[in-house]
Amino acid sequence: MTSTAFIKKEAAYLGVPWEDAYGYAQAIKVGNIIRVSGQLSHDSNGKLVAPAALNEQGKPADFSTMEAQMRTTYANAARLLAQFGASLDNVVEETLFVLDVDAAFAVAAKVRGEAYDVARPQVASNLIGVTRLAFPEQLIEITFTAVLPEI
Q: Domain ranges in the chain?
A: 10-147
CA–CA distance, 81 with 86 (Å, rounded to integer): 5
Question: Residues 144, 94: contact at Cβ < 8 Å?
Answer: yes
pLDDT of 3 above 80:
no
- 36, burial (CB in 10 Å: exposed 0-12, middle 13-18, buried 19+): buried
User: What local confidence, expressed as pLDDT, does residue 39 receive?
Assistant: 98
pTM above 0.85, yes or no: yes
User: What local confidence, expressed as pLDDT, does residue 65 receive?
Assistant: 98
Which of the four CATH numbers 3.40.50.300, 3.10.20.600, 3.40.50.11540, 3.30.1330.40 does domain 10-147 have? Answer: 3.30.1330.40
Among 5-9, 12-16, 45-49, 114-118, whose mean pLDDT is lowest?
A: 5-9
Mean pLDDT on 89-112: 98
pLDDT of 4 above 70:
no
Measured in degrees and rounded to the nearest 5, phi and psi for residue 91 equal -70, 130
Q: Considering only residues 23 and 2, tell me which one the structure prediction assigns the higher pLDDT.
A: 23
CA–CA distance, 121 with 119 (Å, rounded to integer): 6
- How do residues 40-93 score in pLDDT, each as one tens digit? 999 998 999 999 999 999 999 999 999 999 999 999 999 999 999 999 999 999
User: What local confidence, expressed as pLDDT, does residue 43 receive?
Assistant: 95
- How do residues 14-35 score in pLDDT, each as one tens digit? 999 989 989 999 999 999 999 9
User: What local confidence, expressed as pLDDT, does residue 5 receive?
Assistant: 67
What band does 117 get if pLDDT is binned at 50, 70 and 90?
very high
Angle (CA) 17-19-25 rounded to 5° is 155
